[in-house]
Amino acid sequence: MTQKREKKSKRITLKSLSAQLRSLPEVEVPETLKPRLLAAIPDTQAKPAPANQCRGYPAWDFGVTAAAAVLIFALMLLVNYGLSTPSKTVIMEFDSSLCCTTWNQNSFLYDQNNTYLEKSGSYQLK
């Protein structure tokens, strides 16, 4: 009896087992399933999948990021170069740093002509 059992167990190989698995009887499908599945298909066309919409996001995101970067760069340029003080003031500061002595302050302040510095002799070096 035990010998018979041993013989039987030896017969089970991986190959025979896989063949047995492949030939398992077919599962009975309920008859109502097929009409239910067909009835469940709507007449309208399928909506685009959310996955597709998500695929659009990186490109959109990149565009926004690039635009923001350009805007920030433009603002930086504007702050550094675009909004510089008028040349008159620069000259004034430059002159004062060179230790210009007394001048006619009123004429300097109210004279709108740019050439007053060269023409007027109202200042002296220390």
Check the CA dihedral 50-52-58-61 and report its sign. Answer: negative
| Residues in region 26-55 near other proteins by CB under 8 A | 26-30, 32-34, 36-38, 40-43, 45-49, 51-52
Whichever of 17 and 70 has its CB closer to other proteins, that residue is: 17
- CB hemisphere CA count around 8 (13 angstroms): 5
Cα–Cα distance, 68 to 86 (Å, whole number): 30
Cα distance from N-terminal residue to C-terminal residue, the chain: 130
Whichever of 28 and 118 has its CB closer to other proteins, that residue is: 28
Whichever of 53 and 96 has its CB closer to other proteins, that residue is: 53
List residues binding other proteins (CB under 8 A): 5, 8-9, 12-14, 17-18, 20-22, 24-30, 32-34, 36-38, 40-43, 45-49, 51-52
